[in-house]
Amino acid sequence: MYSRQEVMINVPGGQVWSELIYNESTKHNPALVCLHGGPGSTHNGLKFGLAKLAKFFPIIFYDQLGGGNSSLPEDDSDHADLWQVERFVSELACVIEYYQLEEFNLFGTSWGSSLALEYLFSDYLPKPQRLILGSPLISTGMWLEDANVLKQQMPAEIYQCMLECEYNDTTDSAEYKFAMEQFYDRHVLRKSELGDAQLSYLADNPSYFNIEAYHSMWGPSEFYVTGNLIELERFDDLQQIAIPTLFIGGEFDEACPSTLALFQEQVPDSQLVIIAGASHCGYFEMPQPYAAAVKKFLLAD
């Protein structure tokens, strides 16, 4: 039997929604703080895949400002200053402080992995005991190299459409959106492969995606970057990580397994797990093997 507590936490720029899920018998174990991707996404998919692990340790989810249950203040102000890496790091620090965490583990997926690393390398305390980087964005340059390879593997007409729309700045066109959907179904969320449980969850749990944050920090699509994350580069800093670290991704991930292997080689005390049949949202597509890998890593001696 799990206990659940939902709260609103004050952070720079507003409030964020958060949920703590725990089992009474294991509530004193180090909590797992989960950082969703995007920027601008929500906790929903992570909750589907990982909430069951609250049997073994508390789990903390939250929606980053502007997305999901963490809506922006209703005013006409310019929000551009909110969509900065430093503010998101401060936001995470506020969540950790709210729960008075002294010992905890940190999980980030996609952009959430970027956020986890920025917190780890910041002056904020306390630091996590263990780190999980799921399908991570660590180097935008390396991400785009992978994206270009995957784009070229798409049908010729789809690839050509991507190139033309990006060159002509027509990424808001129906043609580009269709091309995006084809790419996403292969490498981001393989909707055509989802089972009834996942499809029902998507239907029953609609969520607000913060497209403003996504466009400001990333760009029009997963494979075309125009935002302020374009210069993100932490590859050379990976060797500084001094805590046990798990890299986890999917077989068909846009964060390519070969690139995750390069990341893992840089971190002294680290492991790499690739989930067969999964893409970028492996925690949602293949929740059983994904959660099992997370559990094994966090409960290891």
* Structural domains in the chain, sorted by start: 2-143+194-298 (3.40.50.1820)
The separation between CA 50 and the C-alpha centre of its own chain, rounded to angstroms, equals 13
Average pLDDT taken over every residue of the chain: 97
* Residue 269 annotated to the active site: no
- Among residues 110, 113, 135, 270, which one is catalytic? 110
3-state SS class at 7 = strand
The pLDDT, as a whole number, for residue 76 is 65
- Give me the sign of the Cα torsion angle 211, 173, 143, 251: positive
* Residue 110 annotated to the active site: yes
The pLDDT, as a whole number, for residue 15 is 96
Average pLDDT over every residue of 214-224: 97
Residues 2 and 53: their CA atoms lie apart, in Å, by 10
- Among residues 36, 253, 270, 279, which one is catalytic? 253
The pLDDT, as a whole number, for residue 72 is 82
Tell me the pLDDT tens digit for each residue of 61-87: 999 999 999 988 777 677 889 999 999
Residues 91 and 79: their CA atoms lie apart, in Å, by 15
Residue 213 dihedral angles phi and psi, to the nearest 5° = -65, -40
- Paired with 20 in beta bridges are 5, 60
* Residue 253 annotated to the active site: yes
Tell me the pLDDT tens digit for each residue of 44-59: 999 999 999 999 999 9
Q: Are 105 and 129 in contact (CB under 8 A)?
A: yes
Residues 282 and 45: their CA atoms lie apart, in Å, by 10
| pLDDT over 70 percentage in the chain | 99
Residues 125 and 136: their CA atoms lie apart, in Å, by 22
Instruction: At 288, list the tokens.
Output: 């059983």
Nearest to 107 by CA among 42, 31, 17: 31
Q: Are 39 and 83 in contact (CB under 8 A)?
A: yes
First to last CA, the chain: 26
Instruction: At 266, list the tokens.
Output: 């840089």
Could you give the angle at the alpha carbon of 284 between the alpha carbons of 251 and 247, nearest 5°? 50
Instruction: At 175, list the tokens.
Output: 């043609």
- Among residues 36, 43, 187, 280, which one is catalytic? 280
Residues 63 and 251: their CA atoms lie apart, in Å, by 27
**C-beta neighbour count of 267 within 10 angstroms:** 21
